[in-house]
A = this chain, B = another copy of it.
Amino acid sequence: MPDALSLGLHAAVVAVDTGTPLVLTVPGQLPDGTVRPGLPFGPFQPATHRTLEMGLRQWVETQTELQLGYVEQLYTFGDFGRFRQAEPKKQTADGAGSSSLSAQHFVSVGYLALVRTPSDDPAQSVLRWKNWYQFFPWEDWRNGQPAILDDIILPALAGWVQAQPDKVSSSKGLNRVARFRLAFGCDGPGMASEKNRMPTITSWDEERVLERYELMYEAGLVAEAITDGRIMPSNSSPQPSSTPQAPLGEAMLYDHRRILATAIARLRGKLKYRPVVFELLPDAFTLTQLQQTVETLSGRSVHKQNFRRMVEKANLVEPTGTTASETGGRPAAYFRFRRSVTLERPRPGLRIAPRV
């Protein structure tokens, strides 16, 4: 009641272009002048928006001139700029002075929106489609385990875990050892106790995108943690042992990377029990295109024959009768999504590799 409350509607607008997962970004600026990509957003205006989702559609569609198809609410974050209030020093004075900032509170509602492959960056505007693995390079396992994990992330996180192995996060109710093992699929009961042993990933769960990002944020491994004032740039108290100087993935505005992590996690999970991939594909597509889209989103490669058999058995598609007349080899048959599966089966989706 006392302070003003503003509800921001943020969209992770996702598309796929032959092996590249794309997210729509718009350049933004931090109070200190730093420029970073952000997600399109706008405030919820209860007087004009009948529902939150309608408000979001309206903002994004006017900003981007895109027609959004599938839209889904992800999560509502109340700790926008979560640690800034603990930061004593003031940034350079500009637009939003710190006095107005302390009275204005932000809550952000994140959305996932899927659109079909765009032709190009809309040249006349500031919008840019970016490969989402630029922001999360450790999430792309299509060509095996990314080197950045063994080289930088795992050692750094192991150090952070060792520093206070049993410290429990109040919100998660787990200690650092458990959280690290869960998020990154590292095994070994004595993992935390054996010093100098390099953690090994034994079962990567591609859906835990958010948990991994949050852990890295708390460990001070991503630029947002420094910007938010959680970690001091040079040498303050909660800094982990081996902070890498190289930034881990490109940073985004405020908590936008967290929203994007939530979007990727949700999409990777939803793939498996709802036919959402087809929102990203053209009306007619080949099975290889379908497989490649799934691989692109989930960040993993899957077995070709088994994938096809699964698609067939799930009754998700039907042949159009036409064939593709290019791509080097034998022409591929075109298929289309069978919309009626949703009425025939309870949870139709592409159940790639249930467990490891």
Chain A residues within 8 Å of B, Cβ to Cβ: 1-3, 5-7, 43-47, 49-55, 73, 75-79, 82, 105, 107, 109, 171, 178, 181-182, 185, 187, 203, 205, 207, 342-343, 345-347, 354-356
Contacts and interface: CB of A to CB of B under 8 A. Distances in A.
A44 B78 contact: yes
A43 B75 CA distance: 18
Contacts of A50: 79, 82
A262 to B, nearest CB: 11
Given A52-B107, A109-B76, A3 B44 contact: no
When A and B form their complex, which 10 residue pairs have the shortest distance between CB atoms, in order from nearest? A46-B105, A52-B78, A205-B346, A76-B76, A51-B79, A51-B78, A181-B343, A5-B5, A346-B355, A3-B47
Number of copies: 2
| Chief secondary structure at chain A's binding surface | loop
Contact of A347 (B47, B105, B178, B355): B355
A220 B345 CA distance: 28
A231 to B, nearest CB: 18
B44 A107 contact: yes
Task: Give the one of A47, A53, A55 with max B CB within 10 A.
Answer: A47
Nearest to A109: B76
A52 B356 CA distance: 34
A5 B46 CA distance: 8
6 contacts: A2-B45, A44-B78, A50-B79, A51-B82, A207-B346, A345-B355
B6 A1 contact: yes
Task: Give the one of A3, A43, A77, A346 with max B CB within 10 A.
Answer: A346
A187 B181 CA distance: 45
Contacts of A52: 76-79, 107
A205 B52 CA distance: 27
Nearest to A203: B346
B171 A51 contact: yes
Contacts of A45: 1-2
Contacts of A49: 78
Given A346-B355, A355-B347, A7 B51 contact: no
Contacts of A2: 45, 47
